[in-house]
Every structure is written in structure tokens, then in C-alpha cells.
Amino acid sequence: MEDVKQNRLKEEEILNFLKKNSDFEWRLSIFEEIESTNDHLIEFAGSNEYCLCLAESQTKGRGRNSKKWQSPKYENIYMSLSFSTNIELRNFSSFSLVVALAIHNVLLKKDIFTEIKWPNDIYLNKKKIGGILIETLQKDKKNLIIVGIGLNIFMKKNSKIDREWTSLKLEKENIIIDRNEIISDMANEVLLLKTKFEQKGFDSFVEDFNKLNFLKNKKIFLSNHGHKKGTAMDINSEGTLNVKIGNKIKKVSSGEVSSYLPDES
């Protein structure tokens, strides 16, 4: 597996891994190259099935706020999965936090400890290693959730990324990684936590999330409040971020945090 091309995405392997932990059929699509795995499911996912779309490369991969997601071929994981829900779409505003916990759980089984930068980034050793994009829509009169995940696996350099980043291979040079297994484990874990989320809401995840809260006690800018500075605190039961501004605590939604200030130490 030293040569990344030896670890190509393989339909049979992925389906076998998926079946170990699920009692239903996935509809799996794998592309050598695609514009966006999320866009593919938005257009083609059925409302009565679980769909999983994977690509070796994306030409129009994106993160939050339509920011381009760098997607070099064979080097990382670019995946999207979809499912329908009876829960109102507005109640899925905190679901990216649940997906982040699912990714953390999977990597922890490989002795890889990640933190979560609210609301949708995965951090390893204080550097970004992955991100999440949740999109919702109605199809066939049903509520459809699209979960996009990008995770850096083998990538060792990329000058087009404008922030500090890392990959599993950079942090753990001798690690043996099978992308097929990691993808399957993440898909199954997302659906496992999705069931709990539908039954109990985000409140049942708050304690676990705050143990991994990368932003806690860091100084941040609030873009919707004249770029005021605040100190990030815990995540609350609504999935919003508690921020201390002066002597007051304000609940901040995901669109309001523009950046964070690294520790001065």
C-alpha cells in the first residue's frame, strides 16, 4: 500500500465491508472522476434507498460556502451518502457535528485521535485533515439528506490549499490504510449515529462533542457582528457555539464564525 494506486477503490471490497454492519442494501456508485459526489446524489439519489457515491477525483468538489475542495486523484477519500428522513430538514442543522463524531469514532479504532473544529472540520495534531458538507432537499415528497465527506489520506503536498492541513500518511508515515474499509466504516457509523440523532436529537451528543471541541477557549472573529472578537466555549444542545463576548455568552450559528486566532503560546 505504499503506492497509493495499489489502494484503488473497489466495489466488491466496499460492499463486503458495508454488509458486515448493515442489514440493508446500499446503492454504490464509483467514479474515476466526477464533478462532485454531492451533486451526483442530489441529482440521482432515490428517496427510498441508501446511496453511496465515491470518486478517485473531483473536478468541482466543494466545501461550505462553495469553497473549492482540492481533490487530487487516488490520494484521498471523496464520498457522499444519502438517506431520507421523517425529521424536518431544519432539525438537521447540527447533523454535521454528528457526522464529525462518526469520523472520529472510526479513526479512533485505528489509534488516530482527531478533534472537531465546529461546525464541520476534522483536525489532527492541530491541522485540518477533513471536512463535511451537509445538503438537504425534498425529493418525491420526502426529506433527503446528502452527507459529503472529504478526508486526506495519502496526500503529501498541495500548494493550492490556503490553510494548514495534513493527511494520515503525513502524520503516521508507517500506517497501513485501506480506503475501502475506512469508507465503509464511516458510512455505517454515520447511519448508526443518524438513528440515535433522529430519536434523541443533538442533545444526546453534546457531551461527546465537547470533549473533542477544537475551538474551545480559542479567540475567534464573529463575522456577523462587526468582526467582534470572542472566546469560543462549549457547544450547546442546539448545536450552536457558545461564545463569550465581554461578560456575556452568545449563541453563535455556523455562518457567523469567520476564523480563529491561534494560541499565542
Under a CB-based contact definition with an 8 Å cutoff, are residues 149 and 103 in contact? yes
**What is the number of structural domains in the chain?**
2
How many whole angstroms separate alpha carbon 182 and alpha carbon 15? 12
- 56 and 168 belong to one structural domain: yes
pLDDT digit string, tens, across residues 37-66: 999 999 999 888 999 999 999 887 665 555
Joined together, the cell numbers standing for residue 135 give 445538503
Q: Are residues 41 and 154 in the same domain?
A: yes
Cα–Cα distance between 53 and 166 in angstroms, integer? 24
> What CATH number has the domain bearing residue 197?
3.30.930.10
Give, as one character, the DSSP assignment of residue 261: E
Residues 16 and 93 both lie in one domain: yes
190-209, pLDDT tens digit by residue? 999 999 999 999 999 999 99
Q: Please give the mean pLDDT across all residues of the chain.
A: 87
Between strands 26-31 and 50-55, the pairing is parallel
Confidence grade of residue 104 (pLDDT, cut at 50, 70, 90): very high
> What percent of the chain has pLDDT above 70?
84
Q: Phi/psi class of residue 224: alpha, beta or left (left: φ > 0; alpha: ψ in -120 to 50)?
A: alpha
Q: pLDDT of 119-128, one tens digit each?
A: 999 999 999 9
Q: Are both 147 and 256 inside the same structural domain?
A: no
Q: Are residues 92 and 172 in the same domain?
A: yes
pLDDT > 90 in the chain, percent: 63
Q: 117 pLDDT exceeds 70?
A: yes
